[in-house]
Amino acid sequence: MTARTSTRRGNERLGRHFGRLWVGFTLASSGDGFAYGAVPLLAVVIDPHPLAISAVVAADELPWLLMALPAGAFADRFRRARLMAVVNLLRGGVLLVAGLLVLSHRMDLALLILAVLMNAGGRAVYYSSLQATVPELVAPRSLERANGALTGTEAAAEHVAGPVVGAAAFAAARALPFLADAAALAFSGLPLVRLRTKTPPPTGPSGSVWGGSIWDGARHLFADRRLRLLVVTMCSLAGLQGLVNGVLVLIATKDWGVHAEAYGAFLAAGAVGTIPGAVVAERLVARFGSGFTLLGAAAACATGYFVMAWSRTWLLAGPAFALTGFAVGAGTVVAISMRQRLTPDELMGRVGAAWRGIIWGAAPVGALAAGGLAVLGGLRLPLYLAGALQFAVVVILARPLVRGLPKSADASP
């Protein structure tokens, strides 16, 4: 790739249709960030036991195991922009009810888990349609830029500003972040109403809207060796990140000296790293190739987990958490862009949903395991184990990743 080509690509605009998608996504991510900072704090207030906390964290990821294939089928069977708008409106209703329960002092652990499950189930459908829409709106050569913009925005809105505001709002009034999330989700559908996406075919490849076609995404995902390799890599990142997140609120507030009202700010440290990671992902692929970029991301995560496990203060744990955020941001953009290139448009929703069902479904497994490990060996054991296992993944997948993936984004998939 010449310097002139690189400059021209860097100056290309993603277009007004992508701009509308981005505006709606920014509103939804900002709202979700409020709850992201408040839900763990509410869980600690309701029941501070490690198993209870890890159950709430797992509930936020579990719907990807339950809703993955149906969510992908929805994305391939309905107009994706309309579907995103309707789902976010329904999610807003769930958060509104949750806020009213908190306001009336009727929220308990079971109701909190149920609200988190319902909201996460809607997110599964929303994200399936979102990522399936991106290849419709931008050229294939611009996928890293588009996905980097979305990933960076998600990090800034949902994991930096949102948690800080959400935690502060929770300290002022426990119901406030949930009500704010409900409003943001409702408004996020407005830009999507005018977004024109493709009319889906009346039937799937098998001749039936549901039937066996719901499995076509998973079949394609495992039929392609490169997609299988990407799934294994990202599944390890997600599962071991879940192992850390399952006890993060406890170790941060009990061992690292993070006050409850500052927990949102600590969460933001990870996202502060995610933003530059997402932004520079395209340049990393151009310089080192997709395989080396993913390996570097996994190694950086492992290093960050070990430093966090060893830390006795947030002054050291915070920068290590930011390092893992950088790695996750870069790795996510690279893997999603590669997956979109390897997937035909008519299967985009179902392949993406099967992908997330496996990868995001690994996170609740890690989160639930973290609770048990913390009970048996202390709060730091899940972090040490996550670092060791992540380094093992780097060693095992080094050769397949470097040889199996194209070096540049312009290479034929």
pLDDT tens track for 281-305: 888 988 888 889 999 999 999 999 9
pTM, to two decimals: 0.70
Contact 324, 304 (CB under 8 A): yes
Closest CA to 190 of 86, 71, 76, 78: 86
Query: For residue 1, what pLDDT is reported?
Result: 37
Contacts of 208 by beta carbon, 8 Å cutoff, 6+ apart: none
CA distances in angstroms from 365 to 250, 251, 286, 353, listed in the order given: 18, 19, 34, 18
pLDDT at residue number 202: 54
Task: Give residue 172's Cα distance to chain centre.
Answer: 28
The ranges of the chain with pLDDT < 50 are 1-11, 204-212, 409-413
Amino acid sitting at position 134:
V
Q: Cα dist. 209→223, 303, 332, 349 in Å?
A: 22, 46, 30, 14
Q: Is 10 exposed, middle or buried (0-12, 13-18, 19+ CB in 10 A)?
A: exposed
The domains of the chain, with CATH numbers, are 16-189+214-404 (1.20.1250.20)
Q: Count how many Cα atoms sit within 13 Å of the Cα of residue 302 in the half-sphere of its side chain.
A: 16
**Residue 408: its pLDDT value, please?**
52
Summary count for the chain: helices (H), strands (E) = 17, 0
Cα–Cα dist 40/260, whole Å: 10
Q: Please tell me the distance from the alpha carbon of residue 371 to that of residue 365, in angstroms, as a whole number.
A: 10
